Amino acid sequence: MNKKEKILAGGFVDRIGNQEANVTYFINNKKKHNEVQLIKNYSEAIKIALKMLCSPKYGIINTIHEIDAVGHRVVHGGEQFTKSMLINEKVFQKIKDNIHLAPLHNPSNIKGIESSLFFIPFARQIAVFDTAFHQTMESHAYIGLPEKVKFSKKMTFSVY
């Protein structure tokens, strides 16, 4: 982002499918709205986000038709994607084909894309791949540990 650009609004919906899902919405990096509620699925989460963006009280746009593009973070794009991609049928199918590479993340990413395509079909949908970023890293940055490291049976080792 250059110095002339600024984030107008942002937020997140987490714990989707839970009685205590959390909706947080920011305007100019200041929290304007936070609520805990039942959000059954990704379609409901997208509807809530769109409602916040168009809200007379909190919104920054008048109608969803002002949305030109939607960016979707996709965890695993495999080796096919080395940069962000405009989502078309072929790209969407390849994202689905890569579910086995990120079974905890890609299905959720797909649900978000499907919901966004349903509610905002006129907007360009762009997939931004974590793996595209990681492909630009040198091996010493992503390998981390030497291959011959041995761990004690008592040691717990987690990678996040």
In sequence order, which ranges of 7-151 are alpha helices (DSSP H)? 42-54, 89-97, 106-119, 130-135, 139-143
Q: Kindly name the residue from 14, 68, 97, 130 that is annotated as catalytic.
A: 130
Give the orientation angle of helix 106-119 with respect to helix 42-54, to 10 degrees. Answer: 50
Q: What are the residues whose beta carbons fall under 8 Å from the beta carbon of 112, sequence distance 6 or more?
A: 42, 45, 46, 72
Q: Is 130 a catalytic residue?
A: yes
Q: Known catalytic residues?
A: 130
